[in-house]
Amino acid sequence: MREIKYVEALNEALKEEMERDPDVILLGEDIGKEWQGAFKVTKGLEEIFGPERVRNTPISENSFVGCGVGAAMTGLKPVVEIMFGDLILLAMDQIINQAAKMRYMSGGQASVPIVIRTPFGSGGSYASHHSQSLEALFTHIPGLIVVQPSTPYDAKGLLKTAIRSIDPVMFFEHKFIYKKSGPVPEDEYLIPFGEADIKIEGSDLTIIATSMMVWHSIKVAKELKNEGISVEVVDPRTLVPLDKKTISDSVKKTGRALIVHEAVSRGGFSGEITKMIIDEAFDYLDAPIKTLGGLPTPIPFTPNLEKFVVPDPKRIKKAVIELVP
């Protein structure tokens, strides 16, 4: 199978869905042919589909997200790009009080088939306003689907599913996965929401990891295999809906669970997964559930401090060794 970059997989998904459905439109800052998106996800799309369907917007997130919500209610299928995930906070009313609630409050008469894509995460010395991981905020809101793909394969399949959804989808892309490559079929495929993926099978401990932490966890699992420790890595892929069965079945098999995400540990989605494991697999645990997340501090600008506040392979490996006798 061919290998392409994460950014290329997203671009392919957008292109294919725009070709398939003329109601799919793109909105966002600098997504047109001049800049092609801050991370080049929309490269070449204005040249193919024109400025009517690939629309550069003003620097006003609340305005163009609101436009996207209205357009979705009238029958279009907007894919809105927020240049940096942190700036999504400027459009919280449009997302939480309008997009998420509209189908319920209209008794099903109105749907909001909007996808809000945004890069997030640390690693480039972008400092506190451009490096956060805020996905857990949106998992708290009924009516929103929350997606966090870690690989090119997952990114393409889930974005195509998101665009075809009748409900609003928050689509989080780690900015330092964009250049990572992986196998992606040339034939069309979709990945259903609510289906986790076991990236590596193991028997001694389950790591439930998201986004960039999936890559770190796979690296650790391969290292520990040579040291006699068998680690299973489970990627939820979608936080809402969450595949409880795959996660709980894995924990039942291994008897140990480590949950890893880049977002601040306090209030992070690890708490929801922990609660689910207690409900579904408590009697199978041979050790306490362990969580590993970011430290409760704004992301520093200084590179060495930035690396210090989020989990890395070294810390993940240490946590696994602490759990496995």
Question: What count of Cα atoms within 13 Å lies in the side-chain half-sphere of residue 60?
Answer: 7
User: 93: how many CB neighbours lie within 10 A of its CB?
Assistant: 12
Cα distance between residue 277 and residue 91, in whole Å: 33
Chain Cα centroid distance, residue 267: 17
- Residue 155 · residue 173 · CB < 8 Å: yes
Name the burial class of residue 3, with classes exposed (0-12), middle (13-18) and buried (19+) by CB atoms within 10 angstroms of its CB.
Answer: exposed
Q: List Cα–Cα distances, 147 to 139, 140, 252, 316, in angstroms.
A: 10, 13, 25, 23
- Residue 214 · residue 155 · CB < 8 Å: no
For residue 190 the two structure tokens come to 């979709």
- Residue 206 · residue 256 · CB < 8 Å: yes
Q: Which among 130, 174, 216, 261 is annotated as catalytic?
A: 130
CA-CA-CA-CA dihedral for 64, 154, 160, 81, to nearest 10: 10
- Residue 41 · residue 10 · CB < 8 Å: yes
In 3D space, the residue among 16, 113, 104, 105 whose CA is nearest the CA of residue 69 turns out to be 113
130 is an active site residue: yes
Task: Report the chain's terminal Cα–Cα distance, integer Å.
Answer: 39
For residue 177 the two structure tokens come to 């996965």
Cα distance between residue 104 and residue 96, in whole Å: 13
Question: Nearest 5°: phi and psi at 251?
Answer: -65, -35
Q: Which residues are catalytic?
A: 130
